[in-house]
Amino acid sequence: MNDDRDAYCREVEAYLCRRNGGHLVRVVGPAFELVRGWSERGIPLKVVFSGIDRQVERYLAKGPQRRPVRIEFCEADVLDVFDEWRRAVGVAAADQAAPDAADAAEGRRESLAAHLERSVARLTARRAGADRALDTLLDAVVRELDAARAGTRTLRGEKREALLERLRALDGELQAAAQAACDAATLRRLTEEADLQLAPFRPRMAAAAYAQSRQACLDRLIREHAKLPTLAFD
């Protein structure tokens, strides 16, 4: 078990160094204990990597990077992404720390207008990539979101709920298209990864709950593989 946790910490260290442009940033001492705690809580490596990405990208957006980002600075983002992950796949927190992260995430929740703007930016970036399989659908979704976001700040009541429902429908269309575009080998690999991510939580889950979480986790991995944002906004 300790070997697994040590390997987890080394993976995090290697990823952090890559995101810091190759600068060596050691995960030792208190930082090592912090990361090992994430392993003990069952936080998947991909979730940790996403949290690191958020912190590094926010830091780089401020201007030229003066010093490497340390793993301690990524803690809040890692916990936020973990909370998003476990809510999406339907697993309970392994300890009492996660509700605090959930409260923090709620306090920093973005507006609907910002959500639409970010979604359009990610879809446009995805549209510029080499994979052209989803181009027709992506073009249509981007046009619709562009038209919708202009009036979001004043939307209230039934009109706002109608837009939220439309976002959920578009989200489902993107998910279905992304899965249809995956070949058998990719689906098999992503399914194995879903099982690996859920392994720390499986012993305390009923069979039906696990099956539901497994599908939700697979859906999330397919979306990440296709580089698609989540359009639903609740």
- State whether 91 and 7 are in the same domain: yes
Does 230 reside within a domain?
no
Do 120 and 219 lie in one domain? The reply is yes
Residues 205 and 154 in one domain: yes
Counted domains in the chain: 2
Structural domain harbouring 168: 112-225
Query: Is 11 among the domain residues?
Result: yes
Asked if the structure places residue 83 within a domain, the reply is: yes
86 shares a domain with 138: no
Torsion angle of C-alpha atoms 80, 200, 40, 38, degrees rounded to 10: -20
- Residue 14 resides in a domain: yes
For residue 234, tell me if it sits in a domain: no
Show contacts of 32-39: CB within 8 Å, 24+ apart: 34/71, 34/72, 34/75, 35/8, 35/9, 35/71, 36/5, 36/6, 36/8, 36/9, 38/8, 38/12, 38/78, 38/82, 39/4, 39/5, 39/8, 39/9
> Each residue of 36-57: pLDDT tens digit?
999 999 999 999 999 999 999 8
Q: What is the reported pLDDT for 1?
A: 54
In this prediction the pTM is: 0.74
Q: Do 70 and 7 belong together in one domain? A: yes
Are 128 and 220 contained in the same domain? yes
Do 16 and 63 fall within a single domain?
A: yes
Q: Is residue 92 part of a domain?
A: yes
Same domain, 99 and 156: no
Percent of the chain with pLDDT over 90: 58
pLDDT at 96 over 70: no
**86 and 160 co-located in one domain:** no
Does 196 reside within a domain?
A: yes
The answer as to whether 156 is a domain residue is yes
The answer on 68 and 129 residing in a single domain is: no
Same domain, 221 and 119: yes
pLDDT of residue 2: 64
